Every structure is written in structure tokens, then in C-alpha cells.
Amino acid sequence: MSSLYNYDSDYVTGYNRKKLTIFIVGVVLAAMVVVGRLAYVMLIKGQHYDDMATNIQQRERSIKAQRGVIYDRNGVVIAGNEAVCTISVIHNQVADKETVIKNLSTLLEMDEAAIRKKVEKVSSREKIKSNVDRETADKIRSLDMDGVMVDEDYKRYYPYNTLASKVIGFTGGDNQGIVGLEVYYDDTLQGIPGSIKTLTDSRGIEIANAAETREEPIPGQNLITSLDVNIQQYTEQLAVQVMELRGATRVCIIVMNPQNGEIYALADVPEYNLNEPFELNVTTTATDAEPTNDQLNNMWRCFPISDSYEPGSTFKIITSTAAFEEGVVTVNDGFNCPGYRIVGDRRIRCHKTVGHGSQTFREGIMNSCNPVFMDIGARVGAEKLYENMEKLGLFEKTGIDLPGEAGSIFHNLKDVKEVELATISFGQTFQITPLQLMRAASAVVNGGTLVTPHFGVYVTDENNNIVKKISYNTRTGVVSEETSETMKGLLEDVVAIGTGKNAYVDGYRIGGKTATSEKLPRSSNKYISSFLGFAPANDPQVMALVLIDEPTGTYYGGTIAAPVIGDLFDNILPYLGLDKEISTDTDAREVIYIPDTVF
């Protein structure tokens, strides 16, 4: 009995020791876990939880950064900023809800129901209205209403209202670019927002007299453009006059430096008011109706960038260039025009139905004779014509620094038969953009360099120090120097004694080409009259293109479009520092009588 008792005692003692050991080990392990967790929280995640606590204790309000300014080439502001305020409410801090709703509704001229919905919404901060003028904001601030915040802000301001609206574009309520240069250079123009942080209690109410933490915003960078306000203003005035005089639906004028692609002016009338971009610039049948998205998009649309058209006879510049490059024509080659040309199963007429008779190629381009160009198109052939068009960038977008650029529409080369080749040769049955035409023509007359049309020139900081010169692609040698010199001489003859004589400016050497394009469908009897000109003809420093869309009455390019460029050049060439020059090179040009054609 005694031995049995001793055995049980030892067993119990051992069992208790084992339990104690397990308990101690468990306590040690638990302590280690707790210590490890504390170390993890305090050492590794300490900053994270500190930030979380701070966020709970702080309320942050954003400070909008001032947007970069857009300047013209002479440093004139064309898109700036105006100081305004943003009004918002903090739900937990509003002490007298009804008073806040009533006062804000009256001062902000807003519906009470709309304001009530925002005031009663349980959120850390609810914006009531942005772009509030300083005078109104000061009145709200003077009422000292709990929970109503008045923060400094900026809104975009356009000092010239409608000037270059299709180019500059505008911003939305958040100061982000929507169209035009504003959206293309949005990353450059936008700054970095700042913030104001205030301490709050557990209910989210700001603690009185607690210090604020303020992080100042960084202003956006500025954009220096190639636009010239003076040239742009005159160009727009001229476009409006032409539109009213000719009863046209639209008039576009582009003025560009053919040597580097800098655009001095782009008018696309009717323009719209950049400070009121959601108000239609035309009278609608329902004057009280809200404008539709289609109406607004059409108003904002920049035709020379976003739309293509059949260029008509201005494209003869390209056909001629291809012919000289391929060596299939000389200026003195003879042609005959009976008023039409039979191509395949088609009878394709000349604009002069009785024909031009016997003429040289030089006379043919001055007469803008379709049969002549059908003949040289056939000499070049579809494959070589397409090769030269590709060199001149007509199968690609120009790369202009504006959004929404359209591309060209051509027949697939394998589908170009003799009829298609004939019509392409004088500028029909395909479509390009006005900018594509100007880019190609610039290469023809500048010695063979394919430039990129553009507006942006420099980026500057807030102190107007240049931080970046914007570069653009160029391709040299797309046209030979010999062909370029020949084409400049021929196009000068077009203005001096040919169909473009209405663009002549006394004392200046002007080159150019007229066009009258019939719009689709052909049965509509609607036309685009155009003229492309450049000066001085021997060393082009400026090129201009005018398009008169659907003029009423007379629609021939030589009659109504050429005088527009003549008027433009007469005014802007002296301004650009291009002095009058009386040519003494009379031996180089034979004076030929050209009938009074208007094509």
C-alpha cells in the first residue's frame, strides 16, 4: 500500500511539473509574440499608424495651382489667370443649417434645393461652387458662418475673347484643358496643387486657434507660341469680312513660315468666345434651348486641323513637282487643250470649255489647265506620283501640336487606274487637310525640307526663364533644289501674269496657286474656293492659305480667294520686316498674254 502511494505521488509531481513547464513556455511564447507585435507596430509600422492618426485628426483642403500662361511670339498674354474663390461646406461644423442655405443661395444665385443637398450630405468637405468672384466671396466670408469655407482659387481668363479660339481652346471648372493648346500642353501648363491642413477633434470639428499646416502650390510652366496677336487679329477681321461679303458658311486662313513651320495665325470663322465656351456663337431656332453636345463640338472644331477636303487645283503644285522630280516634263514642253480630255471611258473637261489650245507647260500651269495636268500625271504614273506624295508627307498626319488632327484619304495604289490617276493629277477624288497641303507646298518652295507645322516654341518658368525649346521633326531632301527653284518661278508667274493675278501686291514678288473645288456630292453645286500664296517668291518667308467654304454667287478661286491673300500680304509683309522689292530680272521671265480666266 505504501509503495503504491509513493508511485502515485511521483506521478502527480511529474505531471504538475510538465504542466508548469508547458504553461511557462506558453507564457514566454505569448510574451514574445506580444513583444514582437509591439516592435513591429512601433518600429516598422509606427509611421503608418502615426499618419493614420494624423489623418483622423487633420482635415486637408487643396490649394489649386496657378495654371501656366500662354503667350504669343511677342510676349502678349493670350491665356492668363484671374483670382477667384471656391466655396465649400463642412457638414460637422455647420451650426445653423437654414441660415447657411439661405445666404449661399442668395449670394451665389443658386437653387436652395441644390445647396441643401450639399449642406446635408455627410462628408468631410462638399464643394458648393467654384470660380466665384472675389467680391461675392468677401461677402460670404464677412458673414462668418460656421462650416462655410472660402478658399483662394484661379480661373482661366482669355483677354481677347474670340481671338484664335479654335487654336487656344479652353479649360474646365477644374482648370484642366479641354480642347486646343490648353489640352495638348496640359501637362506643361498644370502646376502642382498645394494644401491646407487643420486639426480636428473626434467629431471632425476643427479645433479653434490650432495651427494650420500649409503647403504652397507650384505654378504651372508657361507656353510661348508662334502666334502673333497682330497678324491673328487682322487675319480674323479679313476672314469675317470675306464670309459676310461672299455669304460663305466658313472661311479659314492660315499664315505660316514655310521655312520652319511656325504658324503666325490661324483663323477659322465663325470663332467662339473662350470666356463663354458653352454659349453658341450662332442663333439657333430654339433660342432658350440648351446647346447640344453636337452643336458645341461643331463650334469648337478646327476645320483646318480636323477635317479634310478635295484641294482642287492647288494640288497641281504637287503634280508638277513630281513631274520635274521624275524628269518627265520641262517648262517648255508643248501641250494642246481642246477643252477636255478623253480618259478611258470618261470625258473629263477643262474649266475653259472651249479649250486653251496649244500651250507650253509653263502656260498650262498659269492657265490651271486640267488636260495639261492629266497628261503629265499619265507621264509620271501612279506609282511614282504616290512615291513623291509620300515624300511630301501626304500619307501621314503633319504632327501639329493640336489634338484631333485628321489624316488624308487616298485611293489604294492598286486601285488607281487611268481615270483615277487623271483626276488625282488635278486635285480631285481624294482628300487631304489644309495643313497637309501647306506642309507639302512649303517643302516644294523652301528647297526640299519637310517641316512640322506648329504653335509651341518655348516653355518658360514662372519668372519667364526659358526651360525648354520645343523641337519638331524635319526631313531634308524631299524635293531637289533644282525642282524647288523651278516651281518657285512657275508659281510666281501664276500670280504675275496668270490665274492668280488678283493676289499680286505692288512691290513684292508673290507666288501662288488658285483652286475651285467642287464638294461632294457633285450635284450639290457647292464649292470651296481657295488660294495658296507665298512671299517673297524667290525666298519664301511667309505662306498663306485661304479657304472659302460654300460661297454664294461667284465661287472661282482666282476671283474671290486670290484677292484675300493679296490683301493679307499687303498688310502683313511690311509688319514682318519684308521690304518691297522691284524685280529687275525681266530677262528671266517672258511676258505672255493670258486670257481672263477665273479658275
Residues carrying an active site annotation: 313
245 three-state secondary structure: helix
Q: What is the residue whose three cell numbers read 502511494? A: 5
Instruction: Name the grid cell of 199.
Output: 486639426
82 three-state secondary structure: strand
Please tell me the total number of residues recorded for the chain in this structure: 599
Residues 6+ apart with CB under 8 A from 404: 179, 301, 302, 305, 306
Distance between CA atoms of residues 302 and 194, nearest Å? 35
Torsion (CA) 198, 199, 201, 202 in degrees, nearest 10: 90
Q: What is the residue whose three cell numbers read 488636260? A: 371
Are 374 and 382 in contact, with CB atoms under 8 Å apart?
no
Distance between CA atoms of residues 268 and 251, nearest Å? 6
Residues 6+ apart with CB under 8 A from 54: none
Which segments within 70-134 are labelled E, that is strand?
Answer: 70-71, 77-89, 126-132
Q: Quickly list H helices, 326-381.
A: 361-367, 370-380
What separation in angstroms does the CA of 228 have from each of 1, 254, 255, 363? 120, 12, 10, 37
Instruction: Name the grid cell of 499.
Output: 490665274
Instruction: Name the grid cell of 87.
Output: 466655396
Tell me the β-bridge partners of 302. none
Q: What letter represents residue 303's amino acid?
A: F
199 three-state secondary structure: strand
The phi and psi torsions of 170 (rounded to 5 degrees) equal: -150, 175
Distance between CA atoms of residues 369 and 333, nearest Å? 14
What separation in angstroms does the CA of 509 have from each of 356, 481, 488? 26, 19, 10
Q: What letter represents residue 523's amino acid?
A: S
Closest CA to 228 of 188, 252, 256: 256
Q: What letter represents residue 83's amino acid?
A: A
Q: Treating both helix axes as pointing N-terminal to C-terminal, what angle do 229-246 and 562-575 enclose, rounded to 10 degrees?
A: 160
DSSP letter string, 530-543: EEEEEESTTS--EE
Cis peptide bond prior to 521, omega within 30° of 0: yes
Characterize the bridge pairing of strands 70-71 and 77-89. antiparallel
DSSP 480: -
The phi and psi torsions of 464 (rounded to 5 degrees) equal: 65, 30
Distance between CA atoms of residues 576 and 336, nearest Å? 42
Distance between CA atoms of residues 298 and 301, nearest Å? 5
Q: What letter represents residue 113's amino acid?
A: A
Characterize 264-289 residue by residue with b for buried, 16 or more Cβ atoms within 10 angstroms of its Cβ, and e for exposed.
Answer: bbbbbbbbbbbbebeebeeeeeeeee
